[in-house]
Structure 1
């Protein structure tokens, strides 16, 4: 069994050595080294790239429960000056994945001493959550078929919520989001004779205007749920006063409370962009990046989290609305059909996620472990490896 001091030391070591999405080789090696002492019944490495899965089998047949953690850090320069600050320039754990890994490692130490009574537990460390690609890579890995869960759970620390308090809801927990890139192509000309070219300037401005109005239009159309559109970047031609522009790019983040709402956002954004481009005699194309589907909690998964809070006397709140931020954990609940993600409060005075001065609160490690362990015991029971029972 790992002591809290050992878990904090692990967390701080991970914090000092962050790695970006799909580059988490050393992070995975550190986790693999920790789990060697736990004697899991099965170990899968290189899952979906750099991911790991540790399987703990029960005595009897039963369901498979998956607990997910993330391996990756962010391209953010840390501003903290404490002794465990990031040693990698321009990269740091500003989303708390170092803490999440420590929680699930603590869970591994517990399962080493007390295997599930029935079924099995899979502790999964996925790569590339920050880009939205990691969960897809894991689920699409051929070896994941043998690990396919009946239940899937994850937590995320949440600044602004009281320290150690849980927030959860049934239905959509995290919004769907994706980056949309609109490419407009016309024809350059001399700035003295712009009439000899095809400028995308008007279409670019009109597309930005239409994008900003799109959420309100969807509400007027009676489309269910809330939707957001955030224009993050636009580029028109090159900086050359002698040349009228011939191309333009608009980059925008689309966000919706549901996957269905996201499909509607995309369809309408593409439709009016194509119409405006055609009116100006332009060609148009679309790209998408950072694609996250909505993370949806099943009613049963939600109920298991609530019962865990009640059993462990952990304060909790039931959310009326989904979290606006996105998470690729929805890939796991879509596969498992039952499960949930919940938020674990990092404190009301904590810096926000992705802030350069954020740091994971170590007090959450035992709380997160205890909650996950209770959920596992509800589903899979517990059996001591030292038991003499037949």
Structure 2
């Protein structure tokens, strides 16, 4: 306890913390005032003052002759943090966070957003810093996107979740799990089905007549990218090809011509890129080297970022339902805080394919439809 605080506030903080970390469950009666006096070595009026403060905040309900009962959290009193250290690295996170903030506001929930992040930030240190801030602020929950591309990332992310849990803070994962598929952590997760997304994009190319599909990503791709790759392979199998027919090519920004050479050597006529950022750079290199898009090679990406339709060759992309992800994430968090013992839910939302010139037949170039 913080001895600089009045005794009743020390007791208030201690009991509130125990309610948040579920030492005292919703619906459970707190120990009698006499017992609390013994536990906290203080007087009955001091205990009563602390309990009245908790009652005024609707954390507990006091009734003479009955006792003090723990109430379900009130939505309007909830404070939830956004722990997304790599917010600036993937464009979809900003609209998802905006949707979370808007939906939370409508529900009366307060969202604590991280500070503006620079591109060169140490994401591991940023995650630890945000975690410590949220613990010290005693938030009720945290939306967490596990950190990628760091050493021992699984152990690091699990430590973050464990620390939050021990502080009584609920966690809802966004976009990705901590473990590689098919292993799953026992936490709520909201995102898209990346396998289904990869399946849809590859099926679009095969339906356009492509007979040799390539998958282009940076070296050591994220798990979400690997799942998209699994979906592409499944599309090949279900359309009479073999999984090993997929041509996997690493995109090296330092030597992009090597990527073009690998695609041409593999006779690739349809390319699925890991994301729009990779697709945009690849399109530029292909055009610079005289490859006609889409007549010689069709190209697709994922996420439908803002610039996808503005490229020299407008890019076909799988659009994530960012607004819906935010709405579902808020509802999932409210339910998790109010019902901490319920089984974890993994919610996958369906996106849509936005075909543009990069994968349309010549007689349809310029059209844009939604699938």
Query: TM-score normalized by structure 2?
Result: 0.28
Q: Which of the two has greater strand per residue? A: 1
Tell me: higher relative CO, structure 1 or 2? Use CA pairs within 8 A at least 6 residues apart: 1
Largest Rg, 1 or 2: 2
